[in-house]
Amino acid sequence: MAYQALYRKYRPQRFGDIVGQEHVTLTLAREVQQGRLVHAYLFAGPRGTGKTTTARIIAKVLNCPDRGADGEPCNRCPSCLAITEGSSLDVIELDAASHNKVEDVREIRANVGTVASTGGAHRVYILDEAHMLSRAAANALLKTLEEPPEHAFFVLATTEPYKLPDTIRSRAQRFDFRPVGSDALIAHLGDIASRERYQAAPDGLALIARHARGSVRDALGLLEQVAALGGGKVEARGVTRTLGLAPSDAFTRLAATISERDAPGALTLAASLASEGADLRRFVADAIEFFRGVFLTRYAPKVEEIVDEPAEVIAEWRAQARVLDNSDVLRAVEVLGDALAALRDGREERLVVELALLRLTRPETAVDPASLASRLDRLEERLHRSGDTATLPPLTALSDPGRTPLPAEPAPGAAPAPTGPPAAAPRAPAGPTRRAAAKAAPKEPAAAAASGRREEPAPPEATPPTPQDATTASGDPVAAPAAPLDLAALEAVWPALVERVRLDAGPRRHALFRACRPAAVEGSRFWLEVPAGLHFHLAQLVEDRELEGLVGRIASALLGGTVTVSYRPGDGEQPAAAPARAPDKDQLLGDDPAPADPTAVMTEIFGGEVVSPPPPPDRSRGSSRRPPPGR
C-alpha cells in the first residue's frame, strides 16, 4: 500500500476518536441514540479541527446497520468501509469554492431527488468551504435545504460562518469547533509518535503543539516533517530548524537588551538570528506573543485561565514582568507590531528588524509619546535611586505641570505685593548695646521696690519672625525671601512655565505669552523680551496685571522663591504705549453752522482763478445741445 500522510492515516473513525471537540461529539452521539438527527448541520471553526471528519462519521452512523448503542459506527460493515475508503455512492463531498454557481446548485437539487444506492440508505451531501457560495447559489439552495427528501442530509463546513447568509444559518443546526488545547494536542502527538516508533522528546512535542495553533492536521504534518529531518527523532532543535524559529533564549536576551538599553547587544542578536537562518518575520511575530504574555502576567493574577501555554512559558513571562517596566512592554508590542506590518509589505527583513530593535533599546531615537514617557520614567527612577531630590521638582514640573502647587492668590481689595526685593526684618541690637541693656535690667526691680511701686512684668523680647510664620498687621502672609536667580535657571523651567500659563490663563493669554523669551535677570526680577514688530502682544502683556501676577506666582513655585516679571521690546524698541481710547460722545465735533463754499475750497486746493460762468444753454434748441465731453 502506498504511503499515507499521518493526518490521513490516523483520521478519526468514531466520535470518541476526535480530539478536543467533546462538546460536539457528545451532542451528536446522543442525537444518534435518540434518533433525532436533523436534516442540515453547519460546522464552523478553524482549519484542522475535525469538521469534515465529523461529517463523514455522521454519514457512517446514518448508513451503518450495526451501529452500537452508544451511537458509534461499527466500521466493519460494507457501508462503513466504503465511506472510510471514499468510494461510497451515498456520500457526496463537494467543494463550494469550485461549485459556487447556480448551475451547480441546480445539479445538486436534481440529484437530491434520486434514491440512495441501497434500500433504506441515506444520502449525505458534505459541502466544504460553504462560505464560498455566491449569493445567487445560496438562494437557490434555500428551498432544498429547508425541506429535503427524507433520505437526504446536508452538512455545511466553513471556516468563516459570518459570510453565509442568515437564511442559510437559520436552516441548519450549528456547531462551533474550537482550537485544540495544548495538553490534548501534546498527548495526541505522543500517542501517534509511539505508534510510528518515533523518539519524541516532550519539549519537541510541546513546541510542535504551540506552533500548530490548535490545528491537529498542522501538528501531524509538522511532526512528520521533523521526524524525517531528525531520522525518527523529534526534538526541540529539529522543530527550530524545520520552522526557522529563533532559539528559546532569544526572547530572554531581547528583554534583557531592552531593560539595559543595550543597543549593540540587540543588533548582535539580530545578526546571530540572520546567520543561523531564522525566519525574522516569525521571530517578530513570536516576540509580540512573548511581550503580550509579559503584559498579561502583570494585570492577570491567574494568567493560566486566559492563555493556553505550558507552565514553563508562563514562568518565564512572570520572570520578565518583574524586570521590565510597563511602558517598555507596551512600547515593545507597538514597535514590533509596526515592524511586522512592514515585513508583510515585503520590505528588507533584516533592516526592518534592526531598526525596530534600535528603537526599543534607544528610546531617544524616537519622538512618539510612548518613547518620551519611557525616557521620563527611567530618568525619575534613576533620580530616586541616586537619592538626589534637589532637581526633582523642575523635572516633575516638566513631566506633569499639575503636580506643583501654587501660592494662594491675594484677596480682593488687598494691597498688591511689592515688586522689588522685600525689606529686611529688623535685627536685634548686638555687641555692647545688648550687654549694657542686660546689665541695666536687674537695677529696675530694686528701684521699683524702694519707691513702693508694684513692678509690672516686662514683656518678652520679640524674636524675628521666620519666613514660614511671618504675617503683616492685616493678617496677610509676608512674601518669602527672593530667590537667587540666574538666566540659566529661568531657561531650565521655561517650558514648564509656558505650559502652566496655558493651563491656568487660557488659550488667549497663552497665545500672547508664548511669544516671549527670557532676556535678562535683575535681582529677583526677570525680563521677558517680546520680538520686534509684535506691538499688540507687548501692549496687551504690559496692561494685563493679572497675567503678570500669575506668571510671577508660577515662576516662584518653580524656582523656590519670590520673583517678579516685566516685559520689554526686542532689538532696542521702546515699550509700546497704551492704546488710545476712543473719544467720548460729548467730545465729538458738531456740524459747522456755516458750510464751506465749494468754490473757495477748490480755489484754495488747486490754486485756480474764478472766471465768469458761461451763459446757460438754450434748451429750446435740442440740436444745438452738445453732448458733454467724454461721451
pLDDT digits (tens, 9 = 90+) for 134-188: 888 888 888 888 888 888 899 999 999 999 889 889 889 999 999 998 889 999 9
Is 121 a residue whose pLDDT tops 50?
A: yes
The class (CATH top level) of 6-178 is alpha beta
Rounded percentage of the chain residues whose pLDDT exceeds 70: 74
Average pLDDT rounded to a whole number, residues 11-21: 91
Least confident piece of the model among 53-57, 287-291, 527-531:
527-531
Is 599 a residue whose pLDDT tops 60?
A: yes
Average pLDDT rounded to a whole number, residues 338-355: 88
At residue 52, the pLDDT reads 92
Per DSSP bridges, beta strands 233-234 and 199-200 are parallel
At residue 57, the pLDDT reads 93
Domain ranges of the chain: 6-178, 244-364, 487-569
Average pLDDT rounded to a whole number, residues 535-540: 86
Least confident piece of the model among 38-42, 121-125, 440-444:
440-444
Q: Which fold has domain 487-569?
A: GMP Synthetase; Chain A, domain 3 (3.30.300)
Is 1 a residue whose pLDDT tops 80?
A: no
**Is 254 within 8 Å of 265 (Cβ atoms)?**
no
Per DSSP bridges, beta strands 564-569 and 525-530 are parallel
Tens digits of residue pLDDT in 48-93: 999 999 999 999 999 888 888 888 899 889 889 999 888 888 888 8
Write the DSSP string, 476-540.
Answer: PBPPPPBP---HHHHHHHHHHHHHHHHHHH-HHHHHHHTT-EEEEEETTEEEEEEPTT-HHHHHH
Average pLDDT rounded to a whole number, residues 526-551: 86
Is 192 a residue whose pLDDT tops 80?
A: yes
Q: Higher model confidence: residue 584 or residue 504?
A: 504
DSSP 8-state code for residue 153: E
At residue 394, the pLDDT reads 44
In this prediction the pTM is 0.55
The class (CATH top level) of 244-364 is mainly alpha
Residues whose CB falls within 8 Å of the CB of residue 289, separated by 6 or more in sequence, listed in order:
none
Residues whose CB falls within 8 Å of the CB of residue 273, separated by 6 or more in sequence, listed in order:
246, 250, 280, 283
Residues whose CB falls within 8 Å of the CB of residue 292, separated by 6 or more in sequence, listed in order:
333
Q: Please tell me the distance from the alpha carbon of residue 63 to that of residue 83, in angstroms, as a whole number.
A: 10
Tens digits of residue pLDDT in 476-501: 444 444 445 778 888 888 888 888 88
Tens digits of residue pLDDT in 397-450: 433 444 444 444 444 444 444 444 444 444 444 443 344 444 444 444 433 433
Rounded percentage of the chain residues whose pLDDT exceeds 90: 17
